């Protein structure tokens, strides 16, 4: 099958403006936020479900793999090409189909940018809760594929907790609809099955999500520590008190200094760690919780607790947190960001282990993470131009992930598995578990044409994976 013939067939479906085939255009789709692998044979831009159906049927007839893609901000290689094929970019499917405020629901196409949905309903007093750090760029379809989280996961959960229904195209071109506007429809939870499947089971073309009321009051606190261990103990102590903040984030001294130099958010340059804590809800309850949290911090040797006095000050503190990855990118040629999960009580032990790995492999590692739910994001500073460093950084990252699993955690909390961690899946799943997942995939995607080489182990370590400077988290 000649690719130029196939390209002409794609153009017949989408028009010339809907297909990229020139080498200089295709190069832009070789990578995502983590990795670089192969160049796609073409990139197509459907604007409707009918377009997706026609593309899938044509690719199926020609036995061409399909790699679904959102904004390309993913951090596990989920949107890169591994064995030829075409990239189906859903970025132009960006309509907000319906806003149903009476039922606190919305229906959107997958290319809608995360923040744009909140902006569309903010004046009416609503918002969309999942908030990845890349929310100004990432799409809701990509969030669904990866089951993305964010700083406010602790109180509100990840993407799957806010998705009620889906429309998706299967590898044979069939359209399925799962769930709807109601909670807990009878039967198997096919919506839950699709969320987090990383484009291996179907291409999502419409998403029904829940909207939430904007809270009456919000209190944002910055707790400053002279020792990292005191900050980690505070995290466990807050939850032990029965307090569930909306967000509970942590940065170590190395990271916060880089952030402060880049964003001037007001983080103290001489501290060992900070906690960014947010509570929200009814005004009286928020005030009481903030006082309780400050008392817990005091019992754990906090140096000071600062309350954001204005919405601008609050926004600046969050700007620092959400731009932290970019801030570190200013001081290192490259960095490799990880996404492990551990029980909160294991934070001191895990951070000590990360320091040991840093010494062993001779890397500077910055730590920034969703401390409240134990979702770690160690960032390993390295130079990708140095082949030895590139090899060592992958080994160091794998040791960190293995330790997360040993402590009863997971190898990913929100970035997905993709090609980065598929060979690490046996760390958290038995062979029976993995075989069951393969059987599910084979039912939905029997030819393996959707996003091949992702999620499930292939038996080959990802030596070809080229990690690069990342953005998001």
pLDDT tens per residue, range 344-387: 999 999 999 999 999 999 999 999 999 999 999 999 999 999 99
Q: Which fold has domain 3-89?
A: 3.30.43
Position 4 scores a pLDDT of 84
Position 466 scores a pLDDT of 52
Residue 471 pLDDT greater than 90, yes or no: no
Position 37 scores a pLDDT of 77
Percent of the chain with pLDDT over 90: 91
What is the reported pTM?
0.93
Domain boundaries, the chain: 3-89, 96-213, 217-327, 332-415
Average pLDDT (9-21) is 97
Residue 463 pLDDT greater than 50, yes or no: no
3-state secondary structure the chain: CCHHHHHHHHHHHHCHHHEECCHHHHHHHCECCCEECECCCEEECCCCHHHHHHHHHHHHHHCCCEEEECCCCCCCCCCCECCCCEEEECCCCCCEEEEEHHHCEEEECCCCEHHHHHHHHHHHCEECCCCCCCCCCCEHHHHHHHCCCCCCHHHHCCHHHCEEEEEEECCCCCEEEEECCCCCCCCCCHHHHHCCCCCCCCEEEEEEEECEECCCEEEEEEEEECCHHHHHHHHHHHHHCCCCCCEEEEEEHHHHHHHHHHHCCCCCCCCCEEEEEEEEECHHHHHHHHHHHHHHHHHCCEEEEEECCCHHHHHHHHHHHHCHHHHHHCCCCEEEECCCECCHHHHHHHHHHHHHHHHHHCCCEEEEEEHHHCECCEEEEECCCCHHHHHHHHHHHHHHHHHHHHCCCECCCCCCCCCCCHHHHHHCCCHHHHHHHHHHHHHHCCCCCECCCCCCCCCCCCCCCEECCCCCC
Residue 462 pLDDT greater than 70, yes or no: no
Position 185 scores a pLDDT of 87
Q: Do domains 96-213 and 332-415 have the same CATH topology?
A: no
Position 450 scores a pLDDT of 98
Residue 461 pLDDT greater than 90, yes or no: no
CATH architecture designation of domain 217-327: 2-Layer Sandwich (3.30)
Residue 262 pLDDT greater than 70, yes or no: yes
Position 252 scores a pLDDT of 97
- Supply the mean pLDDT for the chain: 94
Q: Between residues 405 and 461, which one has the greater pLDDT?
A: 405
Q: Which fold has domain 96-213?
A: 3.30.465
Position 167 scores a pLDDT of 98
Average pLDDT (190-208) is 98
Domain 332-415 has CATH 3.30.70.2740: yes
Report pLDDT digits (tens) over 270-326: 999 999 999 999 999 999 999 999 999 999 999 999 999 999 999 999 999 999 988
Position 101 scores a pLDDT of 98
Position 469 scores a pLDDT of 39
Residue 468 pLDDT greater than 70, yes or no: no
Position 473 scores a pLDDT of 45
């Amino acid at each position: 099958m000649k690719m130029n013939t196939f390209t002409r067939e794609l153009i017949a479906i989408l028009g010339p403006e809907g297909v990229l085939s020139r080498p200089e255009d295709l190069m832009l789709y070789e990578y995502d936020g983590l990795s670089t692998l192969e160049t796609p044979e073409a990139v197509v831009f459907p604007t409707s479900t009918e377009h997706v159906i026609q593309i899938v049927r044509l690719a199926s007839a020609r036995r061409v793999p399909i790699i679904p893609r959102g904004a390309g901000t993913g951090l596990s290689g989920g949107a890169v090409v591994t064995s030829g094929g075409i990239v189906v970019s859903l970025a132009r499917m960006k309509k907000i189909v319906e806003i149903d405020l009476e039922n606190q629901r919305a229906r959107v196409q997958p290319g809608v940018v995360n923040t744009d949905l909140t902006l569309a309903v903010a004046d009416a007093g609503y918002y969309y809760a999942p908030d990845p750090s890349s929310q100004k760029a990432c799409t809701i379809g990509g969030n669904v594929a990866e089951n993305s989280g964010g700083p406010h996961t602790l109180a509100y959960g990840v993407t799957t907790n806010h998705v009620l229904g889906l429309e998706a195209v299967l590898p044979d071109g069939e359209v399925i609809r799962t769930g709807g506007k109601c909670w807990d429809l009878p039967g198997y939870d096919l919506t839950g099955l699709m969320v987090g499947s990383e484009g291996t089971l179907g291409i999502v073309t419409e998403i029904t999500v829940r909207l939430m009321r904007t809270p009456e009051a919000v209190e944002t606190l910055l707790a400053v520590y002279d020792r990292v261990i005191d900050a980690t103990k505070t995290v466990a102590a807050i939850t032990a008190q029965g307090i569930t903040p909306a967000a509970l984030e942590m940065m170590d001294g190395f990271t916060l200094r880089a952030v402060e130099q880049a964003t001037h958010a007001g983080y103290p340059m001489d501290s060992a760690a900070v906690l960014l804590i947010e509570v929200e809800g009814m005004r009286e309850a928020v005030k009481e919780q903030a006082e309780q949290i400050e008392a817990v911090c005091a019992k754990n040797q906090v140096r000071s607790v600062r309350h954001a006095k204005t919405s601008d000050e609050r926004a600046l503190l969050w700007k620092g947190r959400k731009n932290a990855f970019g801030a570190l990118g200013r001081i290192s040629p490259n960095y490799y960001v990880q996404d492990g999960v551990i029980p909160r009580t294991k934070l001191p032990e895990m951070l000590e282990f990360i320091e040991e790995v840093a010494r062993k492999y001779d890397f500077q590692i910055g730590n920034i993470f969703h401390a409240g739910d134990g979702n770690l994001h160690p960032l390993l500073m390295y130079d990708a131009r140095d082949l030895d460093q590139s090899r060592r950084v992958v080994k160091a990252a794998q040791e960190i992930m293995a330790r997360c699993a040993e402590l009863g955690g997971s190898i990913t909390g929100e970035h997905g598995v993709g090609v980065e961690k598929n060979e690490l899946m046996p760390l958290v799943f038995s062979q029976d578990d993995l075989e069951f997942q393969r059987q599910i995939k084979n039912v939905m995607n029997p030819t393996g044409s959707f996003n091949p080489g992702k999620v499930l182990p292939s038996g080959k370590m990802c030596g070809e994976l080229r990690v690069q400077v990342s953005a998001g988290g």
